[in-house]
Amino acid sequence: MRACAVLLITLVAVAASSAAVAPSTADRSIRGVALGMTRAQVTKALPDAGHDRGSSSQRGAHTENWNYKEERLLVSFSSKQSLAAARVTSVSTEANGDRFRGAGVGSTLAEIRRAIPGLTCDKPTPRLDFKCRNHRERVGVRLTYVDVLVKTRRVRLITICRIVTIAQGVPLCYPLA
C-alpha cells in the first residue's frame, strides 16, 4: 500500500513537471524558444503547439514566421541563404504567463523595469503606445523590446531579437540582402 502511494506521488510530480512552461530569460529565450534555434529545435521545444506559417523572400533574404495563436507567441526565422538554413531571429509573446524574473505581459512599467535591468523607454505621447528596450541599438546586440500601453502603463508585448542590420536608422532583426 505504501509503495503504491509513493508511486502515485512520483507519477503526479513527473506529470506536473512535464506540463510546466519553459522559463523565459530576457535577451535569450521565451518559453524555451531561443535565438539561433533551428525549425526542428523549435518544434521540439513546442511539441503540442499548432501554428500558422507565413514566409517571404525579398532581395535575397528569406523569412518565415510561425504564429502560435492559442499560445500568443510569434517565432520568426531568417536567413540570407535559404529557408532551410533559417534560424530564429526573434520571438514575441503577448501571453500573460511568460515571465522574466516575475514580470511580463500585463505587468506594470515599474515591475518590468525591475525585472529587466537597463530598460530605457521612449518618451510616451498621449495617444501612442511606447517601446522600452534594454540595450542600445547596435548590430549584433541581443535586444529585449517591451511594448507598453500608454493608458494603463502595462506591458502589452515582449520581443527578443538580435539586431542584424540598421536600415535608415531603424534596427532590424532579420537580414537584408
Q: What is the pTM (predicted TM-score) of this model? A: 0.76
72: amino acid identity, one letter: R
pLDDT score at 176 = 53
For the stretch 47-105, pLDDT in tens is 877 778 777 766 667 788 899 988 899 998 888 777 778 889 899 999 988 888 888 89
Residue by residue, DSSP assigns 83-149 as GGG-EEEEEEE--TT-EETTEETT-BHHHHHHHSTT-EEPPP-SSS-EEEESS---TT-EEEEEEEE
Higher pLDDT, 11 or 29: 29
Residue 17 CB: number of other CB atoms within 10 A?
8
Confidence of residue 174 (pLDDT cuts 50, 70, 90): low
Sign, CA dihedral 88-93-99-105, equals positive
For the stretch 37-61, pLDDT in tens is 998 999 999 887 777 877 776 666 7
pLDDT score at 153 = 87
C-alpha to C-alpha distance for 76 and 89, rounded to whole angstroms: 6
Q: What is the mean pLDDT of the chain?
A: 76
